[in-house]
Structure 1
């Protein structure tokens, strides 16, 4: 398999899948320690590695993870096929749009553009803007949007939004606001960008209340998961965004949808297990770019941090919750 950082966009599902039963957490942590060193990974705490992580991980997201180049977890439900599961977050946004002309939608942290492109193709009368910190992501997304005049992509951070980025009916973010430094400051900024009646929609992982009181192995696994997805300051706490959005004048509500991530996380866990136990793949991990290789750690541990270490998956036993947060701006 070619891990060139200039990888093409051809989908490659050749990474092997391991056993059905999840590896016990202590054993999984042993794999991580032997290959990477737990303390070595956790030494990245508070470092700014987001750009390095995504630059090195482009081959994985562009050619391996899924054929649509989504950079987020799939949300499986009985009525959804694989494509529907990967675009379940986008469907929530789609359901908020109407046929009224002149609607505008902003995606924060659009990655390789999958969600914005998916929505733009289905809502030709709505204008979509995707923002991302990584120039490489924006370049690839723009290339794929050549036949979608209602989709555009720009390189920008949360802290430096374009001057014309305002008057939106929906602003959404899928697994990207975990990198925001201040929930309060960004919530105020988003509220100003919304039209009356507009929505902010957030999908992300959050640390549960009492995070430090969970079993040590689970807390360690969560911190490794955070570090290996470049969230080196740690996920925001459960409730932080709801409080910030409410303080910004929006009406906010949230729900845990962790259960919907089970199938996807279980598949990633099985693939990562095979990578750690197969001598050929274990050797390859040592030769790949550091942050790209560490995606195997996130794949191995994500199942445990969300569903615990019991014999059966249980979102209540996990230390991290995957949440959907909705906030609306009143119509005055």
Structure 2
């Protein structure tokens, strides 16, 4: 798509003829890119490739996660299978972790990159005899999550400021370690996999949910590659998502047995469709377009991620197709050999 095409499409805030005819409203990818270019400048966003804005992104986005996205302050996508309520969909990833637990005393669970603590809070309430530890790099996240645990009288849950690339030795070992849409920030997968293996008890499991670039990523249509880079950067994954298969390799090299590597992109469709529909308001309604100009930079750019997230997973056809998107959302589980 040329710059002239983008300008022509963006001159009118009404949808172009290539609307994907689903409810709620879905813009075609070309129209979405045109609106993004007009409001933010695609080249300006893609040029923002450093890691130094991750902290700013989460600080600026905190009001959105706290008040706008969902009432539980989950900082990840919901997973729908057609039978779940909204709450069940947001805690579907936590439900997978729960499948590796029972209520035996002495079990321990570690969450990597816990954000505002929603998943550990949910699990700690459900399993009162299991000890949970949540770690995150942001002091504000750890403090807020800790305050919630205290308010909920969850004595089996604690939070610590820590990087998953430098896990403190005194954390000890765990029966389960999980990360939900956070290990995309890892720069050294082999190191993180070794640390996870070190902190797993024999027979313990690591559970990972995240987005990955498909093989042959650069060969996808140019607009989809551009949309993916926009999605990555505006969700603060500055270096881009890891390639599909790299975590399986890292876990295997660390001595873990990969038991599951499942494409569950289809389950993200309802959530991504809703986000896309909400994001359209920011680009076509005058009051929201004006608001984007005064919002903090990284908070405002969440509208970009909302607009293109559907396309990077399902392509740009009337019928969504996971084979057409350059991104796959995966559930990966590995086990440490032993008891």
Tell me if the contact between 2:103 and 2:128 (Cα under 8 Å) persists in the aligned partners.
no
Q: Which residue of 2 aligns with 1:316?
A: 323
Shift of 1:159: 2.3
2:144 corresponds, among 140, 146, 152, to: 140
Which aligned pairs between 1:44-83 and structure 2 lie closer than 5 A? 44-83=48-87
Deviations 1:111-141 (A, max 9, x none): 1000000000000000000001111111110
Match for residue 291 of structure 2? 284
Deviations 1:150-202 (A, max 9, x none): 01011111222223222100000000000000111110111011000000000
Establish whether residue 274 from structure 1 lines up as the match of residue 278 from structure 2: no
What are the equivalent positions in structure 2 for 1:173-212 lying under 5 Å apart? 173-212=179-218
Distance 2:261 2:176 in 1: 16
**Residue deviations 1:76-119 (CA, integer Å, cap 9, x gap):** 11221000000000000011002221000000010100000000
> What's the secondary structure of 1:297's corresponding residue?
helix
Distance (whole Å) between structure 2 residues aligned to residue 239 and residue 283 of structure 1: 42
**Distance in 2 (alpha carbons) for counterparts of 1:170 and 1:19:** 39
Whichever of the two has the greater Rg, that structure is 2
- Counterpart of 1:38? 42
**Equivalent residue, structure 2, for 1:88:** 92
**1:256 alignment counterpart:** 263
The residue matched to 2:158 in structure 1 has which SS? Answer: strand
1:47 Cα deviation from its structure 2 partner: 3.4
Q: Does structure 2 retain, via aligned residues, the 8 Å contact 1:111–1:137?
A: yes
In 1, Cα distance between the equivalents of 2:195 and 2:100? 21
Q: Secondary structure at the match of 2:170?
A: coil
How far apart, CA to CA, are the structure 2 residues paired with 1:166 and 1:323? 28
The Cα shift of 1:48 comes to: 2.5
Matched, 1:228 2:234: yes
1:117 equivalent in structure 2: 121
How far 1:24 sits from its partner (Å)? 0.4
Structure 1 regions of 5+ residues with no counterpart? 1-17
Q: CA RMSD in A?
A: 1.1
User: How many residues were matched structurally?
Assistant: 315
| TM-score, normalising length: structure 2 | 0.91
Give 2:31's aligned residue: 27
